[in-house]
Amino acid sequence: MKKVLVLLFLLLLTGCGQKINTCDVKTKELEQKWKFVSKNEKVKEIELEIIYDNSIFENIDSFESLNNDQKAVLKKQILSKLGFEKSSYEGLDINVSVNKEISVLVKVNYDKANKELLKKIGMDLDDPNINNIIKEMKTNGATCK
């Protein structure tokens, strides 16, 4: 019985073979925080948080002074600029947050998401192998764990 409990505990700890990799990219204009969940070296989920530097919005220190209607308009404009009419599609959710800063959180279930939608935001993977993705991210200047 102890062996079965230990095995179940180990499976829970490893997420049934899932692996999580993270990569960060920071430029003057924005910071990107990538999270990849893979199984058997194939990407299953992607989470990307983009945090924009307020200086690209003409040195605005904070967006907190905007009222809710203004924030809603800004969120809609950001979605539109990304090429989307709404914030949720099958396998793809985009959450735009306007508070002290502007951040965009994109969550992708790679197996369910429409690849044409992913192409709009540059997340259509030619090769969903996590090792190749991490290698390419590092080549492009990302710091990955």
β partners of residue 35: 22, 47
Class of domain 19-144: alpha beta
pTM: 0.80
Report d(CA 21, CA 37) in Å as an integer.
7
To the nearest 10°, report the CA torsion of 111, 113, 116, 118.
-100
| pLDDT score recorded for residue 11 | 44
| pLDDT score recorded for residue 124 | 74
Q: Please provide the DSSP assignment of 29-89 as one string.
A: SEEEEEEEEEETTEEEEEEEEEEE-GGGGTS---STTS-HHHHHHHHHHHHHHHT-SSSEE
Residue 2 predicted with pLDDT over 60: no
Using alpha carbons, select from 100, 112, 92, 113 the residue that is nearest to residue 48. Answer: 92
pLDDT digits (tens, 9 = 90+) for 54-97: 777 776 667 777 889 988 988 898 888 888 888 888 999 999 99
Q: Which residue has the higher pLDDT, 33 or 99?
A: 33
| pLDDT score recorded for residue 47 | 95
Residue 10 predicted with pLDDT over 50: no
Q: Long-range contacts for 79-84 (Cβ within 8 Å, ≥24 apart)?
A: 82/120, 82/121, 83/120, 83/121, 84/117, 84/120
| pLDDT score recorded for residue 112 | 92
The domain limits of the chain are 19-144
- Structural contact between residues 144 and 22, judged by C-beta atoms closer than 8 angstroms: yes
% the chain with pLDDT above 70: 87
| pLDDT score recorded for residue 17 | 77
Report d(CA 125, CA 111) in Å as an integer.
11
β partners of residue 27: none
